[in-house]
């Protein structure tokens, strides 16, 4: 079976899952982040090398202050509380996105986690926090302009080296749970030739068997890259 080297994950449907069960949206987010940890382990065990997961988008800042505050705290706890698990599983963690917008305590938790896991090599977990695909592209453009690079020297390779995912291979497979079928402003440049897979299941209900079914579908596909 062909296993994707790099999977992008939309862990979508946490709030709808909670509503369906008569729980608060905060309960849904908590269950969703717990499932992400399990999903990371499943990916590692199946030979996936890079997992990029959407944690909090640039648009999510428009949610209520209570929900945003809860999510910031949840992200912080998920990073710090799982350092031993990252070490045991050999997971290297990196956060991409607008770090300057995040609470200081979360910024510190990100720094501590990245430093503690930097030598792990079984799985590269890329967490997107305050991330947007349009922001990523515009940010790359700004950095290239600031460097004074002549227009005739700018090519795809140089541009990609200024994206937040610089140094990583392009995503092979994008999995979105929750029944929605759109890219929602995530890795827009990077996903140019990614295979797309949409699951109707809300993310907290997405299990290892669902991942296996997605990987079987990936294995069926022929990637031509326009050839």
- Angle of helix 25-46 relative to helix 65-80, nearest 10 degrees, comes to 30
Dig out the tokens for 127 from the structure. Answer: 């967490």
* % of the chain at pLDDT higher than 90: 98
The whole-number average pLDDT for the span 37-54 is: 97
Could you tell me the pLDDT band of residue 37, with boundaries at 50, 70 and 90? very high
- In the prediction, which pLDDT does 226 show? 86
Could you tell me the pLDDT band of residue 10, with boundaries at 50, 70 and 90? very high
Q: Note the maximum CA span of the chain.
A: 58
Q: Any idea which residues carry the catalytic annotation?
A: 12, 60
Residue of 33, 115, 24, 119 whose CA lies nearest to 64: 24
The whole-number average pLDDT for the span 154-159 is: 98
For residues 197 and 175, the answer to whether their CB atoms sit within 8 Å is: yes
What residues are designated binding site for substrate?
13-17, 29, 57-59, 61, 63, 176, 182-184
What residues are designated binding site?
12-17, 29, 57-59, 61, 63, 176, 182-184, 195
Architecture per CATH, domain 6-132+170-220, reads as: 3-Layer(aba) Sandwich (3.40)
Q: Mind listing the pLDDT tens digit for each residue in 173-183?
A: 999 999 999 99
Rounded to two decimals, the pTM is 0.96
What are 96's strand-pairing partners? 128
Give CA torsion, residues 60, 62, 67, 73, to 10 deg: 60
Q: Label the pairing between strands 123-131 and 6-10.
A: unpaired
What residues are designated binding site for Mg(2+)?
12, 195
Could you tell me the pLDDT band of residue 73, with boundaries at 50, 70 and 90? very high
For residues 25 and 70, the answer to whether their CB atoms sit within 8 Å is: no
Q: Where are the domains of the chain?
A: 6-132+170-220
- In the prediction, which pLDDT does 185 show? 97
Q: Mind listing the pLDDT tens digit for each residue in 74-105?
A: 999 999 999 999 999 999 999 999 999 999 99
Residue of 170, 186, 173 whose CA lies nearest to 213: 173
The three-state secondary structure class of 20 is: helix
Dig out the tokens for 45 from the structure. Answer: 């065990």
What are 197's strand-pairing partners? 175
């Amino acid at each position: 079976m062909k296993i994707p080297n790099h999977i992008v994950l939309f862990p979508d449907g946490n709030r709808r899952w909670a509503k369906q069960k008569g729980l608060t949206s905060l309960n849904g987010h908590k269950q969703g982040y717990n499932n992400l940890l399990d999903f990371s382990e499943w990916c590692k065990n199946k030979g996936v090398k890079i997992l990029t997961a959407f944690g909090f988008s640039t648009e999510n800042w428009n949610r209520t202050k209570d929900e945003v505050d809860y999510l910031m705290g949840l992200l912080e706890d998920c990073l710090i509380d799982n350092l031993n698990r990252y070490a045991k599983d050999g997971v290297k963690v990196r956060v991409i996105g607008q770090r300057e917008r995040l609470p200081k305590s979360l910024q510190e938790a990100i720094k501590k986690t990245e430093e503690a896991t930097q030598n792990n090599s079984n799985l590269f977990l890329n967490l997107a926090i305050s991330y947007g695909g349009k922001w990523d592209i515009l940010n790359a453009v700004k950095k290239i302009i600031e460097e004074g690079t002549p227009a005739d020297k700018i090519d795809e390779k140089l541009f990609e080296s200024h994206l937040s995912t610089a140094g990583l291979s392009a995503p092979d497979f994008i999995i979105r749970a929750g029944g929605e079928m759109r890219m929602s402003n995530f890795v827009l440049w990077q996903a140019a030739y990614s295979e797309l897979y949409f699951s109707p299941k809300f993310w907290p209900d997405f299990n290892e068997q669902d991942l296996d079914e997605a990987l079987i579908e990936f294995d069926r596909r022929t990637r031509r890259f326009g050839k």
